[in-house]
Structure 1
Amino acid sequence: MWALVIILLVFSFLPVYSASANLAYIGKGTGNTTKFLVKHFGHVVIGLGLLYSVHKIPYRYFRGLSVLLLPVVIILLGYTAMQGTVMGGASASRWMTVPVIGMKFQTSTFAFVVLMAYVAKYLASIKDKVVTFKESILPLWVPVGIILMLIVPFNLSTAVLIFAMILLICFVGGYPLKYLLAMLGVGFVALTLFVLTAKAFPGVFPNRVDTWVSRIATFGGEGDSDSTYQVERAKTAIANGYIVGVGPGKSVTKHVLPQSASDFIFAIILEEFGIIGGLIILSLYLFFLFRLIIISTKAASVFGQLLVIGVGFPIVFQALTNMAVAVNLIPVTGQTLPLISSGGTSILMTCMAVGIVLSVSAQREEVKAREKIKEDEMNPLDVLSEAI
């Protein structure tokens, strides 16, 4: 797991440095991409430091931390919604500005990690118990519902991803399937009502619903020239790359593809490193998923198993979503490529999630080490007796 994270982070410097060229000319930019490289380097260093620090924390502590941080997350999401930025005239209240240092922070990503840890804690507490739907509403679905309601108006793709991962971890955790199907229906109805309300009162959430409709229409081939621009440029980048790519830093499409260093960075990777490079990156994320499964199955407790699934699986699903958008398999979502795309929040929160996973793995290694010491100290008769 450590090797996979470091490989992806080190590789990220190539596409990020290359794709940041168009950002360097925005506004009164001079074309200097060095500052973007330095900024990305800072994010990577801080992310690795956070990863190492979190992985040293015994994972059992995340039970209590998830409960303590849940109200904090709700407050941060509410504050972000009130003071979030407006981009291109559209409401995009996803970021809050951290006081003193002035850094922008995407609170929904932090809420994702905390909420998944909280749900894992709840499911572990009801393991092997018969729980009715009524009993689970307050401790489980009310916090989930509040957080999703605060995220949906400004970041639909993240809210959908969170809801999907909640259903997945609940299914793995043994939560009754009939209740999950009921919640899936509730979620669909709630989203439909929200869309209808937003269409009826467009001044409340300027342009957000129109943006979603436009993206879906674009995916269906019915969008206008503006809404299809990003998708068409991404296709051009992929076509230029062909099998082996045009070479690191030699992308031409990066100058005309918006979000080429974040949302559409996989298209730039395919252009510069070709299909071969893209398949290698895909293989790394699939191997990452394989390692998550191994760590989860070997976890020392039910909570550890569910925690790995809850905070680890979304990383892989987000990566697959980003790749699917780049090759036009699904509508544009705005999800970054974890550990590769530029963006401090994405890197830091992904590293935090990986740190939690490694905490579970480290705890398992400590248990094995103690068992090994115990075996070494036992005489042969004791070992035989223990085995029997």
Structure 2
Amino acid sequence: MKALMKNLRGDRAIWGIVALLAIFSFLPVYSASTNLVYVKDSGTALGHLVKHGVLLFLGFMIIFAVHRIPAHYFKGLSLIGLPIILCLLGYTLTVETNIGGVSANRWITIPVVGIPFQTSTLASVVLMIWVARYLSKIRDRQVTFQESILPLWLPIALVVGLILPANFSTAAIVGALAFLLCFLGGYPLKYLTVMVVTGGILASMFLFVLFKAPEVLPDRAGTWKSRIETFLNPDEASADANRQVNYAKMAVAQGGIVGKGAGKSVMKNILSQSTSDFIFAIIIEEYGLIGGLGLLFFYLLLLFRIVVVANSAETIFTKLLVIGVGVPIVFQALINMAVVVQLFPTTGQPLPLISMGGTSIWMTCLAIGIVLSASNKKTEEPAAEIDDMNPLEVLSGQI
């Protein structure tokens, strides 16, 4: 154990928070997995728990491996990663998968091992690193909108555009976080204002088409429309469209202040996605308001430590890197919680480090590993920041 602790670098508070969240996740996952066993007739509760443990173990291996990579190496790695992820996103759209009988081309299967992989989760991490790299390059000079189209806005548009047909919520979140990073990175405000106004106009046009002629949009458009209508007018929504939201609210209401106790949830057997998208509802039902607020506290504490790491970083790239890959973890958690208490439309976003799901766990761990790498002063880029690095030099360790 002592040897292991000596090899753990970076912010110890982040290590502790992540470990606590992962350990706690076994309780709601084991409890909610009865839905998979008795309702969906899929394996055993112990089997799902073991699977979750294996996924978390592999996730922590990812954290350990990534956190030992010097933070400035990711600048060059993004040059290699972006073209690869664009190809993967394009390929994913050609792979037919279904959710509840509705087309949702989100996954590809990893060869040999046969594990499904959601490419949009990796794309969001790679895109944030790419944006951080570009913003660090232009930090100390004036930039025009025209010269930033190809290196900045085109990659953002391509990634968001390739995610959009199968996963509207993820595309919207990735686009919003990219804009936020541009704002924090000092991109000219006048250009961002133009982009926001343009985005608002395009979004209005999209919503108009979605409600007036959804048949011209991808197959998932019907699901998007139903979720928005259910959120805006829950009383007028159909019973089928409103069922899961109502079940989630019932689970929250039954939880009270202290909850029913571990494993005593009733709604887990009828609430769809109780092990992933709606696992927070099960947590509140079993551990009450105290448990829900406690979990929220740890996510906010994680956000605080991410901000501390970013603030103490010595280079602009490292600061933006930490914000770009770290903040989305907490942002996703807040969205998941907001959906359960009906402050946000249903999005399908899992609860980081808590929900079941290999891709979500692994990509969250990848992002955490990057943050930990940046928090390790021994691996941070020394002295003046190098903006233009050859990726081959980066991979070989030549600075």
CA distance in 1, matches of 2:193, 2:323: 20
State the Cα deviation string for residues 27-59 of structure 1 (Å, max 9, x = none). Answer: 5446x2111101100100000000010000001
Q: Aligned partner of 1:259: which letter?
A: Q
Q: State the AA in 1 paired with 2:83.
A: P
The Cα offsets for residues 76-116 of structure 1, whole Å up to 9 and x where unpaired, read as 01111110411222111111111111111110000000000
The aligned residue for residue 24 of structure 2 is 11
Contact 2:280–2:340 (CA under 8 A) maintained in structure 1: yes
| 2:363 corresponds to 1:312 | no
Residue 266 of structure 1 is matched in structure 2 by: 280
Aligned to 1:87: 99
- Secondary structure of the residue aligned to 1:25 is helix
1:202 alignment partner, SS class: helix
| Distance change >3 Å, CA 183–CA 33, structure 1 → 2 | same
Query: CA 1:64–1:29 in 2, change beyond 3 Å: closer, same or farther?
Result: closer
Whole-angstrom CA distance in 2 between matches of 1:84 and 1:169 = 33
What residue in structure 2 maps to residue 123 of structure 1? 135
Q: Check the 8 A contact 1:325/1:333 in 2, yes or no.
A: yes
Q: 1:213 aligns with which of 225, 228, 242?
A: 225
Q: Can you list the C-alpha shifts for 1:295-321, whole angstroms capped at 9, x where unaligned? A: 000002100000000000000110000
SS at match of 2:239: coil
Secondary structure of the residue aligned to 1:257 is coil
Alpha-carbon distance between aligned partners in 2 of 1:295 and 1:145, rounded to the nearest angstrom: 29
What CA distance in whole angstroms lies between the structure 1 residues aligned with 2:337 and 2:96? 27
The Cα of 1:196 is off from its aligned counterpart by 5.8
Confirm whether residue 139 of structure 1 aligns to residue 151 of structure 2: yes
CA distance in structure 2 between the aligned counterparts of 1:318 and 1:287, rounded to whole angstroms: 15
Residue 236 of structure 1 is matched in structure 2 by 250
Q: Which residue of 1 aligns with 2:396?
A: none
8 Å Cα contact 1:84-1:96 kept in structure 2: no
Mark the runs of 5 or more structure 1 residues left unpaired by the alignment. Answer: 369-388
| Alpha-carbon separation, structure 1, partners of 2:115 and 2:326 | 26
Q: 2:123 aligns with which of 111, 129, 134?
A: 111
Residue 96 of structure 1 aligns to a residue in which SS?
strand
Q: Give the Cα separation in 1 of the matches to 2:108 and 2:208.
A: 28
Amino acid aligned to 1:257: L
Selected match of 1:74 from 86, 108, 114? 86
Q: 1:195 touches 1:209 (CA, 8 Å); kept in 2?
A: no
**CA contact 2:70–2:380 (8 Å) conserved in 1:** no
1:349 paired residue number: 363
CA distance in 1, matches of 2:265, 2:216: 40
- Which of residues 234, 242, 246 in structure 1 aligns to 2:260? 246
Shift of 1:211: 1.1
Q: Percent identity?
A: 53
The 2-side partners of 1:201 and 1:97 are apart by 30
Paired residue secondary structure (2:367): helix
**1-structure distance, mates of 2:152, 2:202:** 17
RMSD over aligned Cα atoms: 1.7
- Equivalent residue in structure 2 for 1:337, among 351, 362, 377: 351
1:301 to 1:273, Cα distance in 2 relative to 1, 3 A: same
The 3 A distance-change label for structure 1 pair 129 and 231 is same
CA distance in 2, matches of 1:273, 1:127: 47
Q: Which of the residues 202, 210, 215 maps onto 1:202?
A: 215
Could you tell me which residue of structure 2 aligns to residue 55 of structure 1?
67
| Cα displacement (A) at 1:152 | 0.9
Q: For the residues of structure 2 that align with 1:150 and 1:338, how far apart are their CA atoms?
A: 23
Measured in 1, the distance between the counterparts of 2:286 and 2:301 equals 23
The separation in 1 between residues aligned to 2:371 and 2:105, in whole angstroms, is 30
- Which whole-Å CA distance do the structure 2 matches of 1:323 and 1:367 have between them? 34
**What is the number of residues matched between the two proteins?**
365
Which among 147, 163, 166 is matched to residue 154 of structure 1? 166
Q: Which of 74, 77, 89 does residue 65 from structure 1 map onto?
A: 77
Higher Rg of the two aligned structures: 1
CA distance in 2, matches of 1:340, 1:201: 34
TM-score, scaled to structure 2: 0.88
Unaligned runs of 5+ in 2: 1-13, 382-399
- Kept in 1, the 8 Å contact 2:132–2:324? The answer is yes
> Structure 1, residues 350-378: CA drift from partner, whole Å, max 9, x if none?
0000000000001x25679xxxxxxxxxx
What letter matches 2:52 in structure 1?
Answer: H
Q: Name the aligned partner's letter for residue 360 of structure 1.
A: A
Q: TM-score when scaled to structure 1?
A: 0.91
Distance 1:215 1:291, change over 3 A: same
2-structure distance, mates of 1:151, 1:194: 16
| CA-CA distance at 1:212 after TM superposition | 1.3
SS of alignment partner, residue 105 of structure 1: strand
Separation of aligned partners in 2, 1:128 and 1:103? 44
**In the TM superposition, what is the alpha-carbon distance from 1:348 to its structure 2 partner?**
0.3
Shift of 1:194: 4.8
**Equivalents in 2 of 1:265, 1:181: separation in Å?**
37
Q: CA deviation at 1:322?
A: 0.3
Deviation at 1:182, TM superposition (A): 1.6
Mean alpha-carbon deviation: is it higher for 191-200 or for 124-133? 191-200
The answer to whether 1:287 aligns with 2:322 is no
